[in-house]
Each structure stands twice: as structure tokens, then as C-alpha cells.
Amino acid sequence: MRYRIDFSYDGTQFNGYQLQPNLRTVQSELEKAVSYLNRQTATSVQSSGRTDKGVHALNQVAHFDLNIDTTLEKIKRGLNSNLPEDIHIIRVRKVSSNFHARFSAKKKEYIYKINTSEYDPMMRNYVYQYNRPLDIERMKEAIQYFEGTHDFTSFVSSEDERENKVRTILRTNIKEKKGIIEISFQADGFMKYQVRNMVGLLIYIGSGKKEVQDVSQIIEAKDRTKSVKTAPAEGLYLKKVWY
């Protein structure tokens, strides 16, 4: 039987989601817990997508197949009892055998948090500690240029070898509360470092180092070297996946 799990994790102590030899990853911890539940049978866990080292998830989605027939509550309880404290299973559902956490996904939302106030050591792993003022109105104007269907080559890591770098950003938003700026992007999909690179440019615009109109010019250039440095990982969260 195939099961879908919705789960959250604190990415601080992980070397990203994907399995890597001799490194602690979210996938490796999940597969250990699922395999234990599955009568010690090695079991693959496939997620909606990878997150990088230090990136968090409020609601990530994955699927796996079990050889046992048990209740959803027992699966949830069994997994959480065998997972470390920085991963938590929110819910478990039975799904059809053709459900795939990655390929069945319709859209995703990421958020990015920036602290423009005093440095907060308690939040150092959960927001980007920029600790200087940013012009949020300029950033709100600039982010609109990302909306729609574009070739995002200028905002994708050279490590991402996919030829097709066209994606559709369906919705964006920027809000601020008590010195924390929260930037959100909804899209049909994202590529490696894409959100962090777009945020990096917005920060340059908010600080006056780039102009609002530079966004469209950099998109059209389709050249990563024409953009700016990548924003740090700790401010990024996968918020939601739609199916």
C-alpha cells in the first residue's frame, strides 16, 4: 500500500533533504524510520522535491510503500517515535498506487524571512539576519516582474543541469511585521537556488544597490553572472505543496 506523509523539519542540522553518503539528511532519517516500520525492509521515501542544506520545511510531502496493513494513527505514531526531534510527521494518508509526491504536485509555495531589526541570536538559524533597513516598497514593486512564465536561467544554480529552466510564478507577496520581512513565491515548480537568488536581487533593490527595472533585464539576459549573490539558506522555508 502507498502512503503519503505531510511533515515538517528544522533544516539547521541537515545536509539538505536528499540522500548523501555519510552525511545526515532528511531523506536518510525518514528512510531509516520507514524501513524499521516496514519490518526492517529497506524502503525508499520520495518527496515533492529537494531542499538544500539549512533550508526548513513547514509542510513537505513524501510517499512510500509499506508491506504491512495497519492504521494511519499507528504509522504516524511509529514514525514520530523513530524520528529525531527536528523532523515531525503531521499527518498520514492512504493514496493510490499512481500517486507520486514529486510528479503529482501542481504547485508549491516558498517563503523567505529577513530580519531588518536588531540581531537576534535566538533566530540566527531561522531568518536571514540582514539587520539593516530595506525599502519594502521598492521590493514590492520589483517582485511583480517575477510573476508569469519566464526562463529563469539567470536565477538558477549552475549545478542544476535541467535544460528547461522555464517556470511560471503564479503569485508573489511581501509583508513586514516587527522588523521581519516575509517574501513568498507560489509557482508550478522551482529549481536549485532559484528562490534564494530572486530574494538576493530583491535585497539589492531594497538596499538601493540595484534598480527595480533591473529585474526584467536580468531575467531577459538568461545569464546567472548578470544577477547577484545568493541569499543565505536559513531564511528559506517550503510552506506548502498542492496536488
Q: CA 103, 106, 201: angle at the middle one, nearest 5?
A: 105
* Fold match flag (2-95 vs 107-242): yes
Whether 186 contacts 194, CB under 8 Å: no
Second-level CATH architecture of 2-95: 2-Layer Sandwich (3.30)
| DSSP string over 67-103 | SS---HHHHHHHHHHHS-TTEEEEEEEEE-TT--TTT
**pLDDT tens readout for residues 209-233:** 999 999 999 999 999 999 999 999 9
How confident is residue 161, by pLDDT bands cut at 50, 70 and 90? confident
CATH domain 107-242 topology? Alpha-Beta Plaits (3.30.70)
- Rounded CA gap, 115 and 132, in Å? 8
**pLDDT tens readout for residues 96-137:** 999 999 999 999 999 999 999 999 999 999 999 999 999 999
In this prediction, residue 163 carries a pLDDT of 82
How confident is residue 13, by pLDDT bands cut at 50, 70 and 90? very high
Q: Show me where the domains of the chain are located.
A: 2-95, 107-242
Average pLDDT over residues 233-239: 98
Q: Pick from 137, 138, 155: which is nearest to 146 by CA?
A: 155
Active site residues: 52
Q: Is residue 177 pLDDT above 80, yes or no?
A: yes
